[in-house]
Chain A
Amino acid sequence: MVHQYKLAGRNIVIDTNSGAIHLVDGLAYDAIAGEGLAALQARYPEAAQDEIAAVFADIEALKAAGQLFTPDAPYREIASEVKRSGEVKALCLHVAHTCNLTCEYCFAREGQYHGAAALMPFVVGKQALDFLLAHSGARRYLEVDFFGGEPLLNWDVVKALVAYGRSQEKKWDKVFRFTLTTNGMLIDDEVIDFANREMENVVLSLDGRRAVHDRFRKTASGGGSYDIVVPKMQELVRRRNGRNYYIRGTFTRQNLDFVTDILHMADLGLRELSMEPVVGPPDDPHAIRAEDLPAIFAEYERLAEEMERRRGTEGEFRFYHYILNLDHGPCVYKRLTGCGSGTEYLAVTPEGDLYPCHQFVGDPKYVMGDVRQGVVNTAARGKLAGLSVYTRPDCADCWARLYCGGGCAANAYHVSGDVRGIDGLGCAMFKKRLECAIALRAGECV
């Protein structure tokens, strides 16, 4: 499968099944698209016949090298044979099902996930880490995200769990990679020191401009949180000493000019940026609609242009979805099977219940078990373990399927009613981001 597109004055050819990507001129672009000699001579009268013949020869050479029109023959078989081992390598620990903000767009419904407010006791968190250690098989790196609600509302338990995890690393020959995802309200010097010492990654929620951020991210009294959190985030990042972090925003159809918000973050001195389309029911007034896509696509192109303009300057920044690991990225097994929710990755509620991921929490059909007895919902697990780009009918003809791994099962479930479905709007935005990211990378090569 080959995907061709033109963006930012560049002609890009993606050979999906090999992962090869080519930057070509107009003549080669049309030749790869199937134009014959006569048509090319008519369209490119300045090109001599032997030049066109050379392009045809190059195309054949790329085919022979497995870099163009590569078949997917081995992959379908691999995907059907992949039986996830039952090893778990990542947990999303919901240490607090409560929040000190009241964001109207929150998929967690102000941190409570349709349930009661709760804090995870240390003993439940310890059981979760023990479950992960015992079920991680040969996997050495174990990921644990302290999530919520707002995890800093249960900070002492977070610190105690980090200490417990570290105490077990040598015994089990494992390495914990902890992540803290926070709204920033309770960041102080002690949080900064601890997080910058112990957390592999810190994800900080900021939506961009003050008015945009404060529209949704309000305190219990109804005030905005921008002025509280921005200085704290800037200080944490300043003292992060190069360790991973992301400033993560959410955009809704209320700010379809969201690139202005990304640039605002960059202008605050923040350099590792992410901006996600809001997740919610289609009838939500803030949800992205199909009619919004042209504006969103234009914004993604504007973002790529601006990043290219800032390249090598003090204002340079990275955008999470424009990061491409093309040469040392995921292998075909990962690309075929995606995120691993419900198999390699589980979310844990304050009570210790297991769900396929944070976006399933609160859905009784997807309670997988608990941290004491492990995964017992074999029906749900089997359905999720069988997911691949070949078991989602809508992925059959999609050029991007080995870049998304089949996409987000939770979004697919919430939009289509089936984890084997897709979230069509999410797919459209993913593909546009990917096209922009590759065009941006191509710009580094010319």
Chain B
Amino acid sequence: MERILTITPGNLPQSVQTGGCGECPTSCQSACKTSCGVINQPCEEKK
């Protein structure tokens, strides 16, 4: 695609099947404590 560069293809529909293990860090614990989001958290899916 000459005019469209995909930075990330996204994996949310697939994660319906693969996600939900709950091992990810709690959003608020790492630094903010007051204005959390989730997108800066890593997935820690059980291997």
Contacts and interface: CB of A to CB of B under 8 A. Distances in A.
Contacts of A441: 7
A411 B26 contact: no
Contacts of A345: 26, 28-29
A223 B7 CA distance: 49
A274 interface: yes
Contacts of B45: 331
**Which range contains the number of A residues in contact with the other chain?**
35 or more
Contacts of A331: 12, 15, 18-20, 24, 43, 45
A99 to B, nearest CB: 15
Interface string A317-339: 00011011111111111110011
B22 A338 contact: no
Interface string B1-45: 111111111111101101110111111111111111111111111
Contacts of B34: 107, 276-277, 279, 359, 408, 411
A34 interface: no
A303 B15 CA distance: 32
Given A143-B29, A333-B15, A411 B35 contact: yes
Contacts of B35: 276-277, 279, 321, 408, 411, 426, 429-430
Contacts of A54: 2
A220 interface: no
Contacts of B36: 338-339, 404-405, 407-408
A395 B45 CA distance: 27
B39 A330 contact: yes
A332 B24 contact: no
Contact of A403 (B1, B32, B37): B37
A330 B28 contact: no
Interface residues of B, number: 43
B31 A203 contact: yes
Contacts, number: 217
B6 A67 contact: yes
B7 A442 contact: yes
B27 A329 contact: no
Contacts of A19: 8, 10-12
Contacts of B26: 89-90, 143, 339-340, 344-345
Contacts of A246: 30-31
Contacts of B46: 140
A19 B13 CA distance: 9
A338 B39 CA distance: 10
B10 A67 contact: yes
Given A145-B29, A340-B26, A345-B28, A329 B7 contact: no
Contacts of B11: 18-19, 327
A141 interface: yes
A8 to B, nearest CB: 14
Contact of A274 (B10, B19, B23, B32): B32
16 contacts: A20-B6, A22-B6, A74-B16, A75-B16, A89-B22, A89-B26, A179-B30, A277-B34, A321-B32, A321-B40, A328-B43, A330-B43, A338-B38, A345-B29, A405-B27, A445-B7
- The 6 A-B pairs of least Cβ separation, nearest first, read A331-B19, A19-B10, A20-B10, A18-B10, A331-B15, A246-B31
Given A141-B23, A276-B34, A330-B43, 16 more contacts: A19-B10, A23-B6, A24-B4, A27-B3, A66-B10, A89-B26, A140-B23, A141-B44, A279-B35, A320-B30, A321-B32, A335-B38, A338-B27, A403-B38, A441-B7, A446-B5
